[in-house]
Amino acid sequence: MRLRIATWNVNSVRLRAEQAARFVDEQAPDVLCMQEIKCQEGEFPREAFEAMGLNHLKIAGQKGWHGVAIASRLPIEDVPTLMNCREGHARCVAVKVAGVEIQNFYIPAGGDLPDRVANPKFDHKLDFYETLTAALKKRDPRDPLIVTGDLNIAPGENDVWSHRQMLKVVSHTPPELEAFDAMIKSMNLLDLPRLATPEPEKLFSWWSYRAADFRKSNRGLRLDHILASPGLRDAAIVDGKVSSRVHDDVREWERPSDHAPVTADLRV
């Protein structure tokens, strides 16, 4: 069976419910992991997702900010999140679908100053990564595990529009790159979108609203990730290929999120 997992920072699920329906109709994800839903659980547009066929829901909401959710076509099992946000934000939600554990995160952006002492938001971001990495180290790499979401770090030189310039900008600074690398190495996680689109091709999932034409300026970042445990290697790599892509056409839709959805297929 094909299990298609999508991750998307929707930047308000109530504003983007119609776009979510269009995306689900066109790409048929079995599981849609969302970040920045910006609503409480009771405000989530359940009926819209039930109409899409994604009627199995797990929601961690927060008034006006943050918030994550997972909508699934298939039945879900509850599983604990790998960690909880130290600030009490709704940034983590987890389920098991078709035997695959899916951990969906909205990791803090980190503010503007890449200094843990002077900028508590940056310290929060790195603390989040350190706590998550410690939790992953305790897991068996053979577990069928997906770590996904808006992880707010563009980890590679070709995941940013300018490696040299972005090294000074939060999302691609050396401490963040080290934190992301440590997380990857904690379980030898597989970066499915990058395996499907190898270096040195540029690969972005976020473009600022400031650009009148995001394609023309193309100052993008790859902030949205689907990472798989070694236990899912055979499910993710079929006949030597990984099926994963960024749906950048969604960024062209009217009143879009600044993030594009990312999908990956597993054979389970």
d(CA 181, CA 188): 10
Q: Which of 30, 66, 89, 106 is catalytic?
A: 106
Is residue 255 classed as helix, strand or coil in its secondary structure? coil
As annotated, the binding site for Mg(2+) includes 9, 36, 150, 152, 258-259
Distances (CA, A) of 11 to 140, 150, 227, 259: 33, 11, 22, 8
Stated pTM of the model = 0.98
Contacts of 218 (CB under 8 A, 6+ apart): 161, 202, 204, 207
Distance CA 254, CA 19 (A): 9
What residue type is 180 in one-letter code? F
Which residues lie below 8 Å from residue 210, measured CB to CB, with a gap of 6+? none
Maximum alpha-carbon separation in the chain? 50
Instruction: Give the homologous superfamily in CATH for domain 2-267.
Output: Endonuclease/exonuclease/phosphatase (3.60.10.10)
C-alpha torsion sign, points 218, 207, 136, 195: negative
Q: pLDDT, tens digit, for every residue of 175-218?
A: 999 999 999 999 999 999 999 999 999 999 999 999 989 999 99
User: Which residues are part of a known binding site?
Assistant: 9, 36, 150, 152, 258-259
> Can you tell me the distance from the alpha carbon of 4 to that of 16, in angstroms, rounded to the nearest whole number?
20
Q: Report pLDDT digits (tens) over 207-256.
A: 999 998 999 999 999 999 999 999 999 999 999 999 999 999 999 999 99
pLDDT in tens, 81-138: 999 999 999 999 999 999 999 999 999 999 999 999 999 999 999 999 999 999 999 9
Query: Is 150 one of the catalytic residues?
Result: yes
Output the average pLDDT for the chain: 98
Confirm whether 106 is a catalytic residue.
yes
Q: What CA dihedral angle connects 212, 216, 219 and 224, to 10 degrees?
A: 90
**Active-site position among 30, 150, 191, 265:** 150
Q: Which of 124, 224, 259, 265 is catalytic?
A: 259
Active-site annotation holds for 209: no
